[in-house]
Structure 1
């Protein structure tokens, strides 16, 4: 079984890298990385949201989220505002430009996923998701 686990681990790693590259190429014309996309998507789904909450939502560490947020602010895709309830908390929201680009990016990402998962049934994708969640749980 030893070699089998190595092969599975290798294939998962290579597939994850290839999926990342595929998505990166698909959205490259927007000058947004997959990591930035995940933050934009999280902000849109939960806005206004704190940087701490977006780090939890995207499963990224705080320094990484801070860097991504700074870039997205410079690109004028998001804004940071002080919370009215707690002045220690900064809340993130999409700008109008950010809303437009997020909608356009979502269409590209969904089309990319359709290509990535072509020929794979919904049941198989659900099974794959369950397996990957179980592996992740074993790593915690």
Structure 2
């Protein structure tokens, strides 16, 4: 199947599929015209890649672990060890972000004009448009 069909069947963008191939997470053959041709297993492979991305694994870590995940014959305790290490890495990130939020709350308290929880940011898409005070309900 061509890249567009794979994208449609998996919900991944064509750009993402090209990235997966570039990172050696997904293989394709080439037609005489140079177009990528994917086999039927690519649908499951893309689903697995997206699942691992959702779980916080980097493409580098995935490239390292995918052979262990997809082939039970080469699955070793190393896989469980690496997955636990990745889990700890994510927990460490969460802890650092918690400290960052606490520091920002302190800055808001010192310079934000009082109760930071009383400010509302209106958003258009992802960008803040303006900051306004919420008025208490009467």
TM-score by length of 1: 0.31
Rg: which structure is higher?
A: 2
Name the structure where helix makes up a greater proportion of residues.
1
